[in-house]
Chains A and B, each alone.
Chain A
Amino acid sequence: MLDSVLFYFFGGVAVLSAVLMVTRRNAMHSAVFLITTLMATAGIFLQLRAEFLFIAQIILYVGGIMVLFIFVIMLVRLDVALHHVRFRMQKMVAVLVALALGFEVLAILYAARRLPGQGLFISEITPPDKLPPNSEELAKSLFSAYLLPFEIASVLLLVAMVGAVVMAKSKKGAEEQ
């Protein structure tokens, strides 16, 4: 019961604010609604007993990436530039693409429903209180089986950081770091 309430609450908030995010004209509003979506998704993670991912989502996504977005929006002060029309002919294309994609996934879901044995609706799920401590499990997995990807990801982040600094650096050079 609690599960379903939580799921519908978080899911509803996520979808609603995602829609608002795409439709709001003001980029800052979009960012705020995206934050709401991300928080709701974090709630879904918590409901799925992925505590570490829940807090990682909050710290990294909301506290890090979204702050970066807001920072850039402030830098460029988009509200000034936003008196243009929002939708153009792309709109039709976009809806078509989205619909096609949606049908495709729905079709797969429908097909999977009729799969024998372990299809999509699995009934035997470990009950929450029998789960091993989440962060410990994650850490073990991350630092043993997935050590190489982990290192690669860290190199990727480093490269991205250097790239971002180089990109954003003022051409005026030394005076602003």
Chain B
Amino acid sequence: MNPTLEALLHFLATWWVELLWGVVIVAVVPLVAGYVVLVERKLMADMQARLGPMRVGPHGLLQPIADAVELLIKEDIIPDNADQLIFWLAPVISMVAALTSMGAIAFGPTLQVARDINIGILFVAGVSSLGLLGIVLGGWASNSHYSIIGAMRSTAQLVSYETAAGLAMVSALLLSGTLSIRAIVDAQRQSGVWFVFLAPMAFFIYLVASIAETNRAPFDLPEAESELVAGYMTEYSGFRWSLYFLGEYANMIVVASVATTLFLGGWLRPFPNVTWLSWLEYAPAVLMALAGGYSIYRAGKQPVAVQTGFMWAVALACFAVAVLFAVPRFVAPLNFVLPGLNGAFWFLLKVSAYLYVFMWLRFTLPRYRFDQLMHLGWYILIPLAIVNVVAVGVAMLLENAGWNRWVGLMVTTAFTLGTALYLVHLQDKRNARASSAKTDVLPGNSYAG
């Protein structure tokens, strides 16, 4: 056999799982992102006393597909004075970065996208931060003032908040002592609690910083539609625009996964070591069955026959999934898939909860102004993150020195909290000073009468 072919076959034999996952990511993530958008719109509608998409498919369930088709067949517009090469490249960078960073995420003990690499969590964080390049380059290449202002905002914002997010991650990494994703989750199993309880402030900082990193409200300044039309995306339309959009939602999933892995125990069920709670292992099947039951209950209340039928379909799907979760538990030969299946359930549940918080905040809060955003990042979050890293380190030292773990944690968390309050207080004072100065500085001309 020809050596090249042989090498190729050898390569395929070693790496087929990874290659397959690559294809799956590229094929499935856009769909998932589309449905995350639909869920977001539905949630937003629910919070805003309206229905949301209802026309395409039952309850708007085919809306993402319709949107995708619409975007694909849209005319592809490149502005005249745009930098063709970079204009073309930028959205691709954005999306590729988001999809690649998914490669190292583990959904369950046996369900890892790529191999468990030594630097897993860093890889995810680092590669996903490359999406920034796409945003900046796209903003620059569009040759529009809105775009360039959006790109500049984006650069400053992401660089600042990545620092805070990185420092928050360090706290969790201190507790786990490794960068490998699987080992981080194992460390949480061994310590018996999720790291969110050991380092609550770090989780909070990461939550805020990750919202800022994904350009979500209230930190959506780079694309603030009421100020910059669409920021760096202003000149994009159709397919290119959808690449940006996809990248953004994929990025949301990535940061949610990172937070889940680092702070929320990854694929572990709640209280992984408490044996009397082991009935929680049945929770996935039971929850799905309950969801199915609720669907049947709602089916009777639907106004239109189509919707009734649809609710029945949803109920059946829920039951099918429930059976899928239940069968391996009772059929011994299938037991081996159980950890992966349950792990994936808990992992996705936590990711969804995290995304829900994202959306909830988006519907509720007004947007920050740019200087306020920078102040929040540099004067509050980053100092707080630094203090927090030290505090977590001290807590670990205290535990090694024989203190009760919770006492040490209480003390250090209280200290961090105190710092936070002090920083906020300082910021308030600074604001008050700045605003009183500003009213004096304003040039007083242009009286009409």
Contact = CB atoms under 8 A, between A and B. Distances in A.
Partners in one complex: yes
Interface of A: 1-2, 26, 28-29, 32, 35, 51-52, 54-55, 58-59, 62-64, 66-68, 70-71, 73-75, 133-135, 174-175, 177
Q: How large is the interface on B (under 10, 10 to 19, 20 to 34, 35 or more residues)?
A: 35 or more
Contacts of A71: 136, 152, 155-156
A106 B122 CA distance: 38
B441 A74 contact: no
Given A70-B133, A74-B148, A29 B123 contact: no
A59 B89 CA distance: 20
9 contacts: A1-B7, A1-B10, A28-B137, A51-B117, A55-B119, A59-B125, A67-B132, A70-B155, A74-B148
B335 interface: no
Contacts of A133: 118
Contacts of B291: none
Contact of A59 (B3, B86, B129): B129
A67 B155 contact: yes
B186 to A, nearest CB: 15
Contacts of A2: 7, 11
B140 A63 contact: no
Contacts of A64: 159
Contact of A135 (B7, B118, B137, B140): B118
Interface in B1-53: 3-4, 7, 10-11
A115 B306 CA distance: 83
Contact of B152 (A52, A66, A74): A74
B266 to A, nearest CB: 20
Interface in B240-279: none
Contacts of A59: 122, 125-126, 129
A28 B86 contact: yes
B136 A58 contact: no
Nearest to A5: B7
A63 B179 contact: no
A5 to B, nearest CB: 8
Given A2-B7, A67-B136, A71-B136, A135 B119 contact: yes
Nearest to B124: A55
A66 to B, nearest CB: 7
